[in-house]
Chain A
Amino acid sequence: MRLVNRRPGREAALVLSLLPFLLLVLAYLWGSAVRLAENPADKLLPWPSTILETLRGLAFEPDRRTGQLVFWADTLASLGRLGSGLAIAAATGAVLGLAIGLIPIAGALLSSFAAAAAMIPPLAILPILLIVLGTGEASKIGLVALGTAPVLVRDVALRVRDLPEELLVKAQTLGASTWHLAARIAAPLVAPRLLDALRLQLGPAWLFLIAAEAIAATEGLGYRIFLVRRYLAMDVILPYVAWITLLAFAGDRLLAWIARRLFPWAKAGA
């Protein structure tokens, strides 16, 4: 039988999907064991028990200086910034995208500008944000928003233009004004697409967040990683990276779940 026609069963598929994770863990354990055998004080590949011990301290013992539970304070700070930035970007994407896609005059006015703005590397304007907005929360939220909004604006605009002309004409024959078309027809029809685009922007959003936190912050997951880098504290960096990955994955699943709940009609491929 050809390889392209051999399909794994349910259990086999599960085992196969877990295999890469297992291999990674085994490779790590092997590397860690080898290095620790040579030098028990090695910091590069700490044994899992060391990592868990450090993590327990960060998560459950108040910091001596600030009295905070560092791990949770970092998580809350980062998620707050990420959520605020993405919310601003999504609102911008919805409003500008609908305007550009639905109203030809707004499209002529803004679509080239949006295309050009989307080409600006967001990290290149981070210094500008820091100068203009200061080193507080605004510059970090601003970077996440500025970095993800242009893609969302363009995606929503394209989706609106892709809507079947028939539906928009039909709505007008039922008495719809431009505002009605935007609010009752186009917005709900592209909302599932906006959530999809938002899911794809979660990766870039974390990138911008960690970059901003690395440069100017006093708490946050990205801040912590770059702070302890100086001490080669892999026992902090590794669980933080895993935790960020898990949060990003959970965010993706959450958005997918929201889309399924809110837009049961979208799965029909309409």
Chain B
Amino acid sequence: MSRIEVRGLWKSYGERVVLERIDLTIEPGSLVAIVGASGCGKSTFLRILLGVERPSRGRVLLDGAPLPPEPGPDRGIVFQRYTVFPHLTVLDNALLGLELRASRVFGRLFGARRRRARERAAAMLARVGLAEALDALPHELSGGMQQRLALAQALLAEPRVLLLDEPFGALDPGSRGEAQALLLELWEERGTTVILVTHDLPEAFRLGTRVLVFDRVRRDPHAPERYGATVTYDLPGHNRARSPRAPAAERASPRGGPP
């Protein structure tokens, strides 16, 4: 569970301003949904949090410390596409994070350590409903199963913040509902801070404890690229499962959350 603070953030590419004047504090354990029209910079904002893009101005702090300028295990990600590794089985996909962090030279575990990691990964996969598919390759899975695998994979790495970039956008309504429910359950169990970028307004309000709307407030009709988007609405979501500011003791956390 981690606090994210965004202070005076701007992002521009040359003359084109994408984001401007963003000041935010994201409370630990909240599930913040970010919505906005396409091209409003919400994905750019997520990429800045991820460490793939850097702010042109301003700072982003994770638990009070500046964000590392590259992706790392403190921030997990689930993308809409290319979200799991096509050359690894379901189990190996889930194991990957455990193996990479435990073995600097081989990036693989052997013997008893592999068995322990395998048990953890298999338990997590069972939790997301993939117990029957451990040896399947990702292309044999449905889109919904792939996204559930991606969630399991990201959460096994125990990130301080989980970033989701339109993770359910490509799913059919049935599997989308399942995946959303699963996300809510896992979030409640673990208390990870989650930031969800979506273009689906009902999804944002259903899942989010807080909904941020990105839009351009200033417009210059002769130079539409002159001004960037900022947070225009900061609304409470319908997700009241847990108040993000509540003391830790009140949180229902059967598995004790990540350390």
Q: A164-B81, A188-B87, A268-B137 are in contact. Are A169 and B71 (CB under 8 A)?
A: yes
Does the CB pair A265–B96 fall under 8 Å? no
A151 to B157, CA, bound (A): 39
Does the CB pair A166–B82 fall under 8 Å? yes
List A contacts of B77 (CB < 8 A). 169-170, 173
**B107 CB–A CB distance under 8 Å:** yes
Interface residues of B in 183-216 (CB under 8 A from A): none
Does the CB pair B73–A265 fall under 8 Å? no
List A contacts of B236 (CB < 8 A). none
Question: How close is A49's CB to chain B, nearest CB, in angstroms?
Answer: 53
Query: Interface residue count for A (Cβ, 8 Å)?
Result: 26
Does the CB pair B157–A175 fall under 8 Å? yes
Among A167, A174, A179, A265, chain B packs the most CB atoms within 10 A around the CB of A174
Q: Which one of A167, A169, A188 lies within 8 Å of B52 (CB-CB)? A: A169
Question: How close is A251's CB to chain B, nearest CB, in angstroms?
Answer: 25
What is the 8 Å Cβ interface bit string for chain A, positions 160-186, against chain B (1 contact, 0 not)? 000011110111111111011001110
List B contacts of A180 (CB < 8 A). 100, 107
**A270 CB–B CB distance under 8 Å:** yes
Q: How large is the interface on B (under 10, 10 to 19, 20 to 34, 35 or more residues)?
A: 20 to 34
A176 to B96, CA, bound (A): 9
Closest to B101 in A: A175
**A243 CB–B CB distance under 8 Å:** no
**B50 CB–A CB distance under 8 Å:** yes
What is the 8 Å Cβ interface bit string for chain B, positions 43-86, against chain A (1 contact, 0 not)? 00000001010000000000000000011110111010111011
List A contacts of B219 (CB < 8 A). none
**A189 CB–B CB distance under 8 Å:** yes
**A249 CB–B CB distance under 8 Å:** no
A175 to B97, CA, bound (A): 6
Does the CB pair A167–B82 fall under 8 Å? yes
Q: A169-B50, A183-B107, A265-B139 are in contact. Are A270 and B86 (CB under 8 A)?
A: yes
**B104 CB–A CB distance under 8 Å:** yes
List B contacts of A173 (CB < 8 A). 50, 71-73, 75-77, 154, 157, 159
A120 to B23, CA, bound (A): 57
Does the CB pair A166–B96 fall under 8 Å? no
Closest to B97 in A: A174
Q: Which one of B52, B86, B96 lies within 8 Å of A184 (CB-CB)? A: B96
Does the CB pair B107–A176 fall under 8 Å? yes
Question: How close is B157's CB to chain A, nearest CB, in angstroms?
Answer: 5
Does the CB pair B83–A175 fall under 8 Å? no
List A contacts of B107 (CB < 8 A). 176, 179-180, 183-184
**A264 CB–B CB distance under 8 Å:** yes
A170 to B153, CA, bound (A): 10
Interface residues of B in 152-182 (CB under 8 A from A): 153-154, 157, 159
Does the CB pair B96–A174 fall under 8 Å? yes
A-B contact pairs, 15 of them (CB 8 A): A164-B81, A165-B52, A166-B79, A166-B82, A166-B83, A169-B52, A170-B79, A171-B85, A172-B71, A172-B72, A173-B73, A174-B100, A176-B107, A188-B87, A268-B139
Binding site for A on B (CB under 8 A): 50, 52, 70-73, 75-77, 79, 81-83, 85-87, 96-97, 100-101, 104, 107-108, 137-139, 153-154, 157, 159
